[in-house]
Structure 1
């Protein structure tokens, strides 16, 4: 009997230990995984090359990025929104009354570079603004779901209700912007002007500086669509019919099939695909018969996003028009290969499609241009360039704030506990 009792006790003891150990393993595996993605020791230090425009990079003190694996963090399906907003350092309050009174709208078209998109979004994000994100139809499903999860954490960030499979230089690129414009005008959230971005842009001006620039005497009631009358060298784009190979490229139709003249006897202009447009102008684009007819005529042209808005902005019927405005409007800092020796001294990164992908040594040029945004960046090829510009931009944003700084808004840490700054003093 005693032996039986002892065996029973041993069995119960072993069973209890098994349950405890099993429970520990279960809860360990079910623990929220957010912190696994943000380990400070895996962060790369901010490059000493940033010192030229980050003067607080003291000699002998190592600064560390606080979020080291943004892409993996966003891909984690177990994220809670409250953790994401804090851990990724999104700003959660308007930083000044001036900004709160002048909300902006942003259209962001993306198809790759998830980490770069997240870092760009948090750089431009303010709770009073509104953001329409167009995810290319050919983007991987994992990418699309990650962007959707991120957008769902914010009331003022949403995905375009209609998605295009975007073709480089095709009509689909213009259509993606128009889809977002339709969504933005339906939104109950107010906004004054809309700016469009792509996934490889990054801001140079702070949100406050954007507001001040758009409210300046020159641009207060004006649209910003840099461009000129279509040069002879560009006329083939709109004089010949083109066909879009969905998601791939654009080719001429047949053996040089010619198009008819533009509707309403419009003078065609050529400019950048980037703009800053008033709310009234966007309404005009979506409702005007002139705009509708030009849009239909543009469907078989090459890169219509580079003539559509700038052409409409040069007609007297358009609200906020800027007739003969030329290339005015510091929208983008871009180093074009054919402008070496004229507007810049060369690309310190590398060229893709004759546009510079920036390296660290390009950043002083970018900052000195004082443009609204810079294009283009790659987070994998030249990560230090993005690190430096991001930290410089966040420093400027927080220095301009009229409200107390939240600790979670800081992007970097340092190992020293010396003089206080806009960095957390723990590494």
Structure 2
């Protein structure tokens, strides 16, 4: 997914994940607005035996990419339950904040699709309702349910899991490699041979670099963003990446930036990186499954490799889980819960969303089918070693300074990378 700020001011992964997919009139399925009241009681439990009703209309905010995949399941719900689902195409660059603003007024949707790392902000503002998944929870990847859990409560029905990996042009580099230095060396070999122009590609935002894509390299230095509690959840009270590993990572970025090896190029955005890789100008592209369909269409033979280590620890990417949330302000809670828990959890719905977006399904049975594709299987295996994107509200205070400092390091603006990194963390902790 492309070009979304995702509530953190970064145009990144949704190059990844949940981008703003221009909203055209042809794709606008309905006007914005909340569903009409069904006078249904508020409950977190789905009722698969609910009687048909013609008095309710559910509104679901969705992006242009996923809207077509949801039309069929919405039609099935209308046929079986007598309740229409109005799909409203929204620009995901602003949808989270629009939802927080409009939900309390009754103008928001009954159901919202979005990434799990919105949860902290949504729960903090009291605009999403807990879900009771019951036995259905066991049908999904455990990591996806964990990602949709906040303060011990499940708030979303997951449908996909995504993370970055190293995409390799097999015509330019024949074997998977384990370390970042080995990858760069192989990329430079292709450049020296006149077969490529860049040794390595990763898209960087011109204002805030891209901590999302580079996080796996950072974790290989042993510098996680937050501490973790005993139950594995993040402790958002303090950022801890100013340790010795963080300093080494800062030095690594500066060493490989515009005034060093130029492996990280501040002038190469996500779109440019993709364009150059599709043109066969690099052996390596650090990206996610959202870009592999275009690589396949281009006819490039490629492999999906585990993320290389730059430090002496495993490279752990962020895991992003996408799913569906129910508005705490919905007047149609019972119908919305029925649709989310008992319809969007069906294989047909999860399969359709996978075919549209190409992201590994969260529903285990759908993933098993999808993983016959080696690309899907590879991303899934790499994601199994990843860590969930922090959903704590404090994360909103992290992205801007984190990304800005990374960009300054890559541009060579910091004479003392370690000191700049520690200053960044101190600034973030003051904001928190």
Question: Shorter-chain-normalised TM-score: which range?
Answer: under 0.3
Q: Which has the higher contact order (CA 8 A, sep 6+)?
A: 2
Q: Rg: which structure is higher? A: 1
What is the TM-score of this pair, normalised by structure 2? 0.25
